[in-house]
Structure 1
């Protein structure tokens, strides 16, 4: 269980974590509600508490949730900084592709016709 407030989370870890609709729903619930337990999360989902715990572990590895133990209870909170880093990475990648496609377009338009 990661307790760091700034887990890095590689872009591929974040994309894998967000690929599952249940994990996206868990993250959306945590963003909307704030901190809550896996038992509370499971009450609103079509999966067991054990399945929620496994999904939370994937989100934790990606740095998208933080766990805090309070007595016997573990509360989870959303951590969106890794998602923002992944978004910046995707934006940079999109920009690179736009430049490449523009260069290809320019080359084809400059080529002499048949």
Structure 2
């Protein structure tokens, strides 16, 4: 999906923005946290202990699914949702790569501003 090591042209790599946009909502983060144990859950189960309607939960799950962060599976008449670990791992790798770039830039700045010796 996304590659944290985008080349100079950037061609051929997926855009990480939809993943981070989907994570930019407190409700979606909460849903992803509930699903992070690996168990698939129904919308009814995910809506317990919340003030949100099932329709609101469904809307947020569809955004997460569109970003590849969760997958749905039809079981009888209900949909069950589970976190997609590989997408989360790819997002983490992307952030690690960005962090590495900052670490490198700060190291270069340090050698520039600190006296040698």
Normalization by structure 2: what TM-score? 0.78
Unaligned runs of 5+ in 1: 1-7
Question: Map of 1:45-84 to 2, 5 A cutoff?
Answer: 45-84=50-89
Partners of 2:53 and 2:88 lie apart in 1 by 26
Work out which of the residue numbers 79, 85, 105 in structure 2 matches 1:100. 105
By percentage of residues, which structure has more helix? 1
Q: After the TM superposition, which parts of structure 1 deviate over 6 Å for at least 4 consecutive aligned residues?
A: none
Partners of 2:114 and 2:45 lie apart in 1 by 59
Shift in CA distance, 18/44, structure 1 to aligned 2, threshold 3 Å: same
Unaligned runs of 5+ in 2: 3-14
**Cα distance, 1:43 vs. partner?**
1.8
Work out which of the residue numbers 12, 15, 23 in structure 1 matches 2:20. 15
Normalization by structure 1: what TM-score? 0.80
How many residues are paired up?
104
| Cα RMSD for the two superposed structures | 1.8
